[in-house]
Each structure stands twice: as C-alpha cells, then as structure tokens.
Amino acid sequence: MQRFSALLLAEYLQHNTPRLIDVREPWEFDICRLDGSELLPMRQIPDRLALFHESPEYVIICHHGIRSLQVIRFLAMQGIDNTINLDGGVAAWARDVDRNMPVY
C-alpha cells in the first residue's frame, strides 16, 4: 500500500495507468469524481474481491481518504497489496489539482 497526495497522484497519472476505484456512495460519485474512476461502494468490496486481481495497480478513492484507507487495510488482510490511497480524497483533489471540481 502506498499513500499519495493529490498532487503526487496527478503527476503519477501522467505516466501510469492504475485502475481508479471510488468507494463512495452513488450520490457522492454523482457530485464529483476523478476522470476514469469506477464506482464501487465500500459495502460491495467484500463481494468483489476478484476485481482486485484484474489490474496490476489500484488507486482507492473516497471523500477525505478515510474510507479508502479502511478499504485498503481490508484488502491487505485479503492478501491484496497493489493499492494506492489518495490521501485527502476527492476533497484534496478539488483543492489541489482541479479547482473546478464541485465539492460537498
């Protein structure tokens, strides 16, 4: 597990193509999201573990970085450690990378 700030992730995404998994609720995802991210609400993670063997690397995203960190810790307990946490979540992305992104 790695932890990236929004600025570091923005730079990383210029040269890498991890799969972006947003673990927020649908209503949150409808307000704002990182381009290319896929919605997979936190509560669905245990039933979708096979998804985390489809790509070499995953960025886990939530509102402030807390739910995503919980998901990453759960995945690590399942032997899945090819993850990156977006520290500060979409709130940090809106503040530091995309100031046009809606916030809530």
| Helix-helix angle 6-13:89-96, to 10 degrees | 80
Active-site pick, 32, 62, 69, 91: 62
User: Does the annotation count 32 as an active-site position?
Assistant: no
Give me the DSSP letters along 26-88.
HHHHHH---TT-EE--GGGGGGGGGGGGSSS-EEEE-SSSHHHHHHHHHHHHTT---EEEETT
Active centre residues (catalytic)? 62
